[in-house]
Amino acid sequence: TKKKKWLAKLLFDFPETGKFEARLNVEGNKVSVIFVAEDKDTDSKIRKRGRILTKQLQDKGLEVSQLDSFSKPIERQTNNTKKHSLIDVRS
């Protein structure tokens, strides 16, 4: 059986955190998450809470292969992004 692989890049922009991305990769029960935060304080908060998030994902039966965070400017997105449905209608 071929495992489905899901890739997602979510962009958030809250007054409390500034812009940050969550880059997710899910294959079977393995998950990796990389956070990219523009604000160094937001990056620090994500790093401090990384163990809690890892445990929460593991408690849901997921194997966390990577959970990391770093700080850098987030490039402005253009409108040439592809639209995909989050529902797999083929199953």
Rounded (5°) CA angle 66-67-73: 120
pLDDT above 80 for 11: yes
Strand order in the sheet with 30-37: 5-14, 18-27, 30-37, 63-71
Task: Read off the pLDDT of residues 52-67 as tens digits, 9 standing for 90 and up.
Answer: 999 999 999 999 999 9
Domain at 5-71: CATH architecture: 2-Layer Sandwich (3.30)
* Mean pLDDT confidence for 61-82: 84
Per-residue pLDDT of 30-49, as tens digits, reads 999 999 999 999 999 999 99
pTM for the predicted model, two decimal places: 0.78
Residue that wins the pLDDT comparison between 1 and 40:
40
Residue 78 has a pLDDT of 61
